[in-house]
């Protein structure tokens, strides 16, 4: 089996470009980088960056890509609260099981109700989804600025848009409805519907590699995984400053946020 190694000089320049909030095009054929502005200390070529996405299938991550969801800080703590149960012990049990499943890339990693029933209490006092009336609103959840413009732009280019998420359908579908975005999505690809996490979704999907692109903020799930299957990627890195550890690949395009992404999409 051929093993390719990341070019350290290219990776170094890539990180410099990220820290400079540049828009970046990684050209895999020449193992080189083009950026939209001059950056001191970076060997990247300055060039105009343009995305031609007309007719593409777009797999769009949700959390920290087009929307904010305060699950970890608000919903999860209240969900765990039981007067008769030590909250630290409950959280420890659930997160231990979560990270064990996650290390196995299991689709059960984000089934919080199942984890609660199995590791804290065999009967729920209320459903996790029942908290949506309280928390599926500002300031706990909201669209990022530019989210609707991106969806409308992609629709105008004849793109089919699919939610590409590790969150479960019953939560994500409702969240998209409340935020006024559900009508732009052709379908929702989620672990509970496909029986796999993002790690293995491309084994279940019939994608045309030349006309499919993934947009997301997680370097592993939204860049390295789809790249392994030959799918082009766009990284939005506002909340995560780039690769962790030793990346196996770089995103085809990198943009600081939705605004900078939209600026570089060619509209016909």
User: CA-based Rg of the chain, rounded to a whole angstrom?
Assistant: 20
pLDDT of residue 199: 93
Q: Which two tokens stand for residue 50?
A: 């343009």
Q: Is the per-residue pLDDT at 71 higher than 90?
A: no
The pLDDT confidence band at residue 262, using thresholds 50, 70 and 90, is very high
Q: What percent of the chain has pLDDT over 70?
A: 91
Global confidence as pTM: 0.90
CA-CA distance, 70 to 139, in Å (whole number)? 8
pLDDT of residue 194: 95
Q: Is the per-residue pLDDT at 5 higher than 80?
A: no
CA-CA distance, 217 to 215, in Å (whole number)? 7
Q: Is the per-residue pLDDT at 65 higher than 90?
A: yes
174 in Cβ contact with 195 (< 8 Å): no
Task: Please state the separation of Cα 95 from the chain's center in Å.
Answer: 21
Q: Which of 98, 120, 99, 123 is nearest to 111 (CA)?
A: 98
Give the Cβ contact number of residue 46 at 10 Å: 13
CA-CA distance, 238 to 106, in Å (whole number)? 27
pLDDT of residue 239: 87
CA-CA distance, 48 to 44, in Å (whole number)? 12
β-sheet with 232-236: strand ranges across:
45-46, 32-35, 24-27, 253-255, 232-236, 212-216, 57-60, 160-164, 187-189
Q: What percent of the chain has pLDDT over 90?
A: 64
Q: Is the per-residue pLDDT at 95 higher than 60?
A: yes
Q: Which of 55, 6, 41 is nearest to 26 (CA)?
A: 6
pLDDT of residue 124: 65
- Antiparallel, parallel or unpaired: β 24-27 and 32-35: antiparallel
Average per-residue pLDDT for the chain: 89
Domain boundaries, the chain: 8-46, 57-69+141-263, 71-135
Q: Is the per-residue pLDDT at 94 higher than 50?
A: yes
Q: Is the per-residue pLDDT at 129 higher than 60?
A: yes
pLDDT of residue 1: 35
CA-CA distance, 182 to 217, in Å (whole number)? 20
pLDDT of residue 3: 46
pLDDT of residue 2: 45
Q: Which two tokens stand for residue 5?
A: 């190694």
pLDDT in tens, 152-202: 999 999 999 999 999 999 889 999 999 999 999 999 999 999 999 999 999
Nearest-5° Cα angle at 257, 228 to 242: 45
State whether residue 85 is helix, strand or coil: coil
pLDDT of residue 171: 86
CATH code for the part of the protein at 57-69+141-263? 3.40.50.1000
Give the Cβ contact number of residue 4 at 10 Å: 8
CA 144, 147, 148, 149 dihedral sign is positive
- Is 223 buried (19+), middle (13-18) or exposed (0-12) by CB count in 10 A? buried
pLDDT in tens, 37-58: 999 989 899 999 999 999 999 9
């Amino acid at each position: 089996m051929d093993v390719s190694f990341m070019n350290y000089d290219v990776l170094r320049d890539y990180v410099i470009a990220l820290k400079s909030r540049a828009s970046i095009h990684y050209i895999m054929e020449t193992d080189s980088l083009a950026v939209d502005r001059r950056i001191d200390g970076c060997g990247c070529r300055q060039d105009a960056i343009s995305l031609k996405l007309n007719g593409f299938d777009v797999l769009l991550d949700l959390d920290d890509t087009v929307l904010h969801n305060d699950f970890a800080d608000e919903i999860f703590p209240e969900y765990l609260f039981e007067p008769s149960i030590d909250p630290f012990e409950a959280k420890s049990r659930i997160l231990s099981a979560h990270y064990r499943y996650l290390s196995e890339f299991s689709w059960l990693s984000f089934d919080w109700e199942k984890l609660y029933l199995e590791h804290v209490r065999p009967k729920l006092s209320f459903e996790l989804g029942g908290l949506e009336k309280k928390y599926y609103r500002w300031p706990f959840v909201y669209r990022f600025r530019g989210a609707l413009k991106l969806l409308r732009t992609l629709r105008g280019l004849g793109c089919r848009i699919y939610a590409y998420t590790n969150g479960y359908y019953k939560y994500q579908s409702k969240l998209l409805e409340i935020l006024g975005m559900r009508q732009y999505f052709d379908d929702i690809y989620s672990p509970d519907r496909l029986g796999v996490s993002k790690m293995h979704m491309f084994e279940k999907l019939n994608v045309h590699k030349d006309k499919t692109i993934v947009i997301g903020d997680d370097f592993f799930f939204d860049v390295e995984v789809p790249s392994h299957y030959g799918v082009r990627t766009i990284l939005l890195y506002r909340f995560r400053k780039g690769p962790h550890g030793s990346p196996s690949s770089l995103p085809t395009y990198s943009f600081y946020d939705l605004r900078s992404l939209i600026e570089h999409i060619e509209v016909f």
